[in-house]
Every structure is written in structure tokens, then in C-alpha cells.
Structure 1
Amino acid sequence: MEPRSGCPVNAAVEVLGDRWSLLVLRDVIFGDRRYFRALLTGSAEGIASNILADRLVRLVDAGILTRGTAARGQRARYSLTEAGIQTLPIICALGDWGLDWRSGSDELRGRQRLIRDQGPAFIADLMDELRVRHLDAPPRPHDGPSPFERLDAARDTPAG
């Protein structure tokens, strides 16, 4: 997929610049939704099946996701590539902007607050965990709950 110009911002926007691509990545990253049906039914925004199918093809073609092979009657599983994992800081930056400038429910904002409060080291830990889940990297030891367990707990705890 060749960008229309040599501008790096344009090249990124051509892959990530539509609403649905970023939301699909959000659901793969934070919801661990890796199958078409899970992405379709788990979308709070109500993505249509034809839009989801199109975005998955685009993200695979762009090298952001891979699509596992599925035998007849089986479902294909999508996994993040390293390029896909590297979108996490972008998604987190967008979430921070949303915290500051847009309204939303406390329940859904808790995860973003935790990410912002924990800072860059936490984002790096999340990326390492994604490498374990999606790229079969060896797990790194950590004290206490995993970064994703901490995010799940933050989402389940009302903001005070």
C-alpha cells in the first residue's frame, strides 16, 4: 500500500485515519477480541459487518494485523504485528485528549486514567504483554497483576 505522498503524517493517516480502524485496533488491544464475531458483537459503537470486514482487510494489507489461516468451519484469528503494537502509544495519546476535551462515562474513562497516571513505563509494559499474546514472545516477569489485569480492574472501579 503506497501512500499518496511522501509525508509521514499522510502515510499514517491513510492507514489509521478513519474512525473504524482505530476502534478495531482498540478492541483487539484492550478487549483481546481476535475473531471477526467477537469484534462485531463487542463493538460498543455498533460497527457493521461489511465495514468490519473491510477494515480488517485494510489493516492486514497495511501490516498492522495478521490473519491466521482457518481450516473449513474454523474461524480465523487476527493478531497484531509489531507495527500494530506500536499503535498503542498513538491510541493512548488519543485517549488522553479525549479525557481532557470530551465527555464520557466514568466506567469507560477509568482505563484511560490509569494509563495516563501510570505513564510511559506502563505503556511499555502493555506493549510487552501484547508481544507475548500476539507475537509469542517470552513473558517478562512482573510483580503483582499483569498490566491488562490492572486495566480490567480500573475499568470495573468507579472513578472517585
Structure 2
Amino acid sequence: MKTITKRSGCPVSFSLDFLGDKWTLLILRDMVLSDKNSYGDFLASNERIATNILADRLNTLEQYGFIIKRVSPEKKNKFLFSLTEKGIELVPILMELTIWGSKYNPPGNEKLLKALADDKVGTILKLQQKLRNAIP
């Protein structure tokens, strides 16, 4: 598991300690936008995360309270991951990254981008409520 060492009192530095890794952000993206919640779901993402990195990032996210892990009710040897309130509060940041990225790179999710353009706050609130409803 990645150990987080506080380098300074700067809020940007503190945030980057947790979110400065692309794999962490992509796992969070998949949880928020693609309803992925299992190890296999994350491995199936287009970016092809290595199994050791995925396990490490999931452990770090759980250790620092961004996600919770529970045993699947259907399959006892499978774990499911859900965002905590701390993780859900990252949705606006992910949406801002989505908007910024789509400005300079061809968009991938035009439906989401249109919803954000039409009503960014409402779209973010709907995503957050959907995720809150999924907390076990």
C-alpha cells in the first residue's frame, strides 16, 4: 500500500498526495461514471492497469477512507467496492477534469458532457446522490 507522507500544509500538496496518481483517478472515474465496483471490473478498463498496481491503489483508497470493501452477497470470494462520502465529494473534481480534458481532447462521453454543459451543478448533484444511494 502506498504510504502518504504529508510534505507541507499546502492544500494542493495534500490533495495530490491522494489524487496525484493517474491510476487512482481512473479507478474513481470508473466507480463514478461506469458503475464499476469489483476488481475484475477495474481490470477490464481500457487503460489496462496492472494487477499489482490495482490492488495497491484499492488498498490505499480503502485505508484512507475513500472507498469501502465488502464481500459480494452473490459470490463469497468476490469483493465489491463502494465510494464513501469522502470519495463522493470528489465528483465535482472529476467532472471539472472531464470538462477540461474534453476541451483539448476529443470527447468520449458526449451525453455526460452535454449534461454538464446544460446543468453542471445539477448533474454533479445527481451523480453524488446516485453514489450515496449505493453505499451499503
CA drift at 1:38: 1.2
* Among 52, 56, 69, the residue aligned to 2:58: 56
Q: Aligned residue for 1:118?
A: 119
Code of the aligned partner of 2:30: D
CA contact (8 A) 1:99 1:109 kept: no
Q: Which residue in 2 is equivalent to 1:44?
A: 46
Which of 99, 104, 109 aligns to 1:101? It is: 104
**TM score, norm. by length of structure 1:** 0.74
- TM-superposed CA distance for 1:69, in Å, is 4.4
The letter for the 2-side match of 1:92 is M
- Residue 55 of structure 1 and its aligned partner are, at CA, apart by 0.8
What runs of 5+ residues in structure 1 fail to find an aligned partner? 137-160
Q: Is the 8 A contact 2:71 2:77 kept in 1?
A: no
Distance across 2 between alignment mates of 1:116 and 1:45: 26
Q: What does 1:57-96 correspond to in 2, within 5 Å?
A: 57-69=59-71, 73-96=76-99
Aligned 1:144-155 pairs, distance under 5 A: none
Q: What corresponds to 2:13 in structure 1?
A: 10
Report the alpha carbon displacement of residue 36 of structure 1 after superposing the two structures with TM.
Answer: 0.5
The partner residue of 1:27 within 17, 30, 33 is: 30
Alpha-carbon distance in structure 2 between the residues aligned to 1:102 and 1:52: 26
Q: Secondary structure at the match of 2:79?
A: coil
Q: Select the structure of larger CA radius of gyration.
A: 1
Alignment partners' CA distance in 1, 2:134 and 2:114: 23
Q: Give RMSD over aligned pairs.
A: 2.0
Gaps of at least 5 residues in structure 2 are none
CA distance change for structure 1 residues 45 and 113 in 2, over 3 Å: closer, same or farther? Answer: farther
Cα offset, 1:97, TM superposition = 0.3
> Which whole-Å CA distance do the structure 1 matches of 2:86 and 2:114 have between them?
25
